[in-house]
Amino acid sequence: MASDRCPNNVGKQAWPELLGARVAVAVATIPRQNPNVRIDVRDEATANNPSLPAIFCDRITVWVRGGIVSRVPVIGF
């Protein structure tokens, strides 16, 4: 769970409701609900390394395929 990985982060930490949404919606929604994070958008079709082993408590990677969010955005990855 995101709160286990980043216990000091205040604000919303996961966005399951954005799975299947357009990337523009995700990019607009996440900072409104947690302004303490930065967003990294990655296309699963072109990413060299689709899994990022490091945890960053100030980052959310929004994985997309064809402009649609393909994984639940969770803080830390």
Residue 50 has pLDDT above 80, yes or no: no
Residue 1 has pLDDT above 60, yes or no: no
Of residues 60 and 76, more confidently modeled: 60
Residue 66 three-state SS: coil
Average pLDDT over residues 7-27: 90
d(CA 48, CA 37): 23
Domain 14-76 CATH (choose: 3.30.1310.10, 3.40.50.2300, 3.30.10.10, 3.90.1150.10): 3.30.10.10
Residue of 74, 28, 33 lying closest to 63 (CA atoms): 74
Confidence of residue 11 (pLDDT cuts 50, 70, 90): confident
